[in-house]
Amino acid sequence: MDIDGLLVGVDPQRLERTVRALEGPRHPRTAPKALGEAEALVEAELTAAGLSVERQPFDSGGRTHHNVVGTLPGRRPDRPWLLVGAHFDTVTSTPGADDNASGIAVLLETARLFSRSQPERTVQFVGFNLEEPQDALGRYRVGSARFAKRARKEGRRYAGALVLEMVGYTDRRSGTQQVPPLVFKRVPDSGTFLAAVGDGRSRRLLREFEAATRKHVPELTLVPYRTWLRGWLLPLTRLSDNASFWDRRYPALMITDTAFLRNPHYHQITDSADTLDYEFMARVTRAVLASLAELAENR
């Protein structure tokens, strides 16, 4: 696979257009129409990329919702698969540009470019629904939990899932990046890096994501981080769909700008498209594409 040829196609303007198309609350209770439109946008774009697309239904809160799954069949579908995922819903009142229109934009751009290749492993591109808290009980990650449970029940094997959770916000000023007290690791103090977080089972996946990024996207600073016990020691690493895969014993990474550790607009009405860094998102897209290309062929 000509990886560097694949990466030149990444288009920051297209990333921005996708974020602006999604911008606005997308929640089943406060903005069900916009949530449905976001689902339709993901379905249309994955279909336009040439993937076979399925809306996978699940029930929650007395209603039926869907994850959207696009599949690129591999030359060796018997080998463990790969997955790239992002959630398209928001909390009740935020425009959800960084959280998580940014993740969906990178997902769709990755699908558009990667679907032209013929990888050895089958690759799925998934828009997850209902990641955010749904009710007073605080249920969240509903769509991905159902997806991972069903995959395990069907005996499906995954070599890795890359979960895009807020990948568009940067701040160059020093002192803008917070680091949680339990992270004993040197982390840059300005918010311009990408973090990749894996659990113990995801050690190899994390190493390969890091190697592909350093080799093909040297202009992106990556901070890899491994957590233990499926993230229970550092609960903020369990706040997105990656934890649904960890809980079903699948290797998975959370790919993130570190959310509220950097972005003051997290879950606020100010999480708008104007606050994002689309050149950074293009670098993130190239890192995901390069990693997929390497992982799809490796032994």
- Can you give the binding site for Zn ion, defined by CB under 5 A? 99-100
Sequential DSSP letters for the chain: --HHHHHTT--HHHHHHHHHHH-S---TTT-HHHHHHHHHHHHHHHHHTT-EEEEEEEEETTEEEEEEEEEE--S-TTSPEEEEEEE----SS---IIIIIHHHHHHHHHHHHHTTS--SS-EEEEEEP--S--STT----HHHHHHHHHHHHTT--EEEEEEE------EEEET-----TT--S---SEE--EEEEE-GGGHHHHHHHHHHHHHH-TTS-EEEEE-SGGGTTSGGGGSSTHHHHHHTT--EEEEES-GGGT-TTTTSTT--GGG--HHHHHHHHHHHHHHHHHHHH--
Q: Which is nearer to Zn ion, 100 or 263 (CB)?
A: 100
Nearest distance, CB of residue 98 and Zn ion, angstroms: 9
- The Cα angle at residue 162 between residues 283 and 221, in degrees rounded to 5: 35
Q: Which is nearer to Zn ion, 90 or 110 (CB)?
A: 90
Nearest distance, CB of residue 49 and Zn ion, angstroms: 23
Q: What Rg value do the Cα atoms of the chain yield, rounded?
A: 17
Q: Which is nearer to Zn ion, 6 or 276 (CB)?
A: 276
Q: Which is nearer to Zn ion, 43 or 89 (CB)?
A: 89
Nearest distance, CB of residue 143 and Zn ion, angstroms: 12
Nearest distance, CB of residue 73 and Zn ion, angstroms: 29
Residue nearest to Zn ion (CB): 99
Q: Which is nearer to Zn ion, 193 or 260 (CB)?
A: 260
Alpha-carbon distance of 291 to 280, in angstroms, equals 17
Nearest distance, CB of residue 68 and Zn ion, angstroms: 16
Question: Exposed, middle or buried by CB within 10 Å (0-12, 13-18, 19+), for 179?
Answer: middle
Contact present, 220 and 169 (Cβ < 8 Å): no
Nearest distance, CB of residue 126 and Zn ion, angstroms: 15
Nearest distance, CB of residue 165 and Zn ion, angstroms: 5
Nearest distance, CB of residue 201 and Zn ion, angstroms: 22
Q: Which is nearer to Zn ion, 67 or 100 (CB)?
A: 100
Q: Which is nearer to Zn ion, 41 or 113 (CB)?
A: 41
Q: Which is nearer to Zn ion, 210 or 257 (CB)?
A: 257
